[in-house]
Amino acid sequence: MSQPTVEKVMEALSRVEDPELHRDLVSLNMVQDVRVEGGRVSLQVNLTTPACPLRDRIRADVEAALRAIPGVTEIELRFGAQVRRAQRQADGLLPQVKNVVLVGAGKGGVGKSTVALNLAVALAQEGASVGLLDADFYGPSVPLMTGVDGRPVSRDGRTLEPLEAHGLRLMSIGFLVEPDQAMIWRGPMLHSALTQLLRDVNWGELDYLVLDLPPGTGDVPLSLAQLVKSSGVVLVSTPQDVALADVVKAKTMFDRVAIPVLGLVENMSSFACPHCQHTTPIFSSGGGRRAAEAMGIPFLGEIPLDLAVREGGDQGVPVTVAHPDSAVARAFRKMARNVAGRVSVEAHQVRLPVFQAGTR
């Protein structure tokens, strides 16, 4: 009876594709530490993100390919993750940040900041290193929603240290001004402030820096297009027509400034009664999915309308932390995995893989 070898294992895995990148695992250098001892095969597959939405499918495909090799009796498959770098800075503002993910909306009141915060927390819960920058200078909400009211300090006299909560590194103009101080700034001042919060904060090494943008199509997104090459933007809308009309305008603006649109999230998609569990589509139903299809962008998920989301925002504890097993927290985590998958696709399109294969 023939025995499996490292060469046969690699040949079998060269026919297994990453479902999102549509290239085989071997050419992507995702297969590492292959060992064959008699009929036992052990290996590690390094995913492009710890929040990979298709981990189970990759596991099934790898195990099926290995079982097809004559003589294989036991498989030990481990998963690692190495997030790829997609963003390229025009002037080196964020040399240690692999991906900048923007969260925007065509209008206010659709829960953009809630989505940005829970997206960041969910990515961190999956094992990624994540920062959150509140770039909504006129209405900074991150301090309240994270329960952080401290002031950033500078250890070296040149850069500010981000504050930390819920597994995130945080920065907001709200940490630097009094809570009741109105920001009466024009475009050049916004550009300068945004540059400083990107350049003069010691973000450290991050897999993802999530930026909560102000609503609409104003100066901040335009400044970001000049300052950094982001991995893309997540658009947030509610299901009703008036919100979806504005998100179409936002998508057009991001297209014009060459920022990839990762997809659309439908927030407040439905309300489930906590007593009888009857679901009511308060703001209509299915509008986000239809709008995403019409615009030709991915639909990233539906986030239900839930009282715990509002309570968490007011109390400074995101629902993904306060109620991690709830339906709404699961919806946020599913959405975050979809976003991470889209970022990996963008990274693959920007540059070649950064993995180094190792086999024994």
Per-residue pLDDT for 358 more than 50? no
Same domain, 251 and 107: yes
- pLDDT-derived band at 332 (thresholds 50, 70, 90) equals very high
Number of domains making up the chain: 2
Tokens, residue 217: 């199509």
Same domain, 92 and 230: yes
Query: Which pLDDT tens digit goes with each residue over 277-312?
Result: 777 877 777 888 889 999 999 999 999 999 999 999
Query: Which pLDDT tens digit goes with each residue over 87-122?
Result: 554 446 888 899 999 999 988 889 999 999 999 999
pLDDT at 205 (0 to 100): 94
- Identify whether 249 is part of a domain: yes
Q: What are phi and psi of 300, to 5 degrees?
A: -90, -15
Same domain, 58 and 112: no
User: Whose CA is closest to 230, among 115, 123, 340, 89?
Assistant: 89
CATH of the domain at 328: 3.40.50.300
Tokens 């009211």 found at: 149
Distance CA 228, CA 259 (A): 10
Same domain, 107 and 61: no
Which of 22, 48, 82 corresponds to the end of one domain? Answer: 82
- Backbone dihedral region for residue 288 (phi beyond 0: left; psi -120 to 50: alpha; all else: beta): alpha
Same domain, 57 and 147: no
Distance CA 246, CA 100 (A): 23
- Identify whether 358 is part of a domain: no
155-159, 216-220, 226-230: the lowest-pLDDT one: 216-220
Per-residue DSSP letters for 236-269?
A: EE-SSHHHHHHHHHHHHHHHHTT--EEEEEEEEE
Average pLDDT over residues 162-172: 96
CATH of the domain at 42: 3.30.300.130
Per-residue pLDDT for 266 more than 90? yes
Same domain, 210 and 137: yes
Distance CA 42, CA 50 (A): 20
Which of 53, 82, 111 corresponds to the end of one domain? Answer: 82
Per-residue pLDDT for 220 more than 50? yes
User: Between 270 and 356, whose confidence is greater?
Assistant: 270
- pLDDT-derived band at 352 (thresholds 50, 70, 90) equals very low
- Identify whether 360 is part of a domain: no
Query: Which pLDDT tens digit goes with each residue over 10-36?
Result: 999 999 999 999 999 999 999 999 999
Where do runs of H (alpha helix) occur along the chain? Answer: 6-13, 55-67, 112-125, 142-146, 187-199, 219-227, 241-256, 287-295, 307-315, 319-322, 327-350
User: CB 265: neighbour CB atoms within 10 A?
Assistant: 30
3-state secondary structure 84-142: CCCCEECCCCCCCECCEEEEEECCCCCCHHHHHHHHHHHHHHCCCCEEEEECCCCCCCH
Same domain, 182 and 48: no
- Identify whether 356 is part of a domain: no
Domain that holds residue 138: 88-350
Query: Which pLDDT tens digit goes with each residue over 185-197?
Result: 556 777 788 888 8
Same domain, 290 and 250: yes
Same domain, 282 and 196: yes
Contact 154, 161 (CB under 8 A): yes
User: Whose CA is closest to 301, among 310, 292, 313, 314?
Assistant: 292
- Identify whether 12 is part of a domain: yes
Which of 33, 49, 82 corresponds to the end of one domain? Answer: 82
- Identify whether 359 is part of a domain: no
Looking at every residue in the chain, the average pLDDT score rounds to 88
Distance CA 357, CA 26 (A): 8
- Identify whether 326 is part of a domain: yes
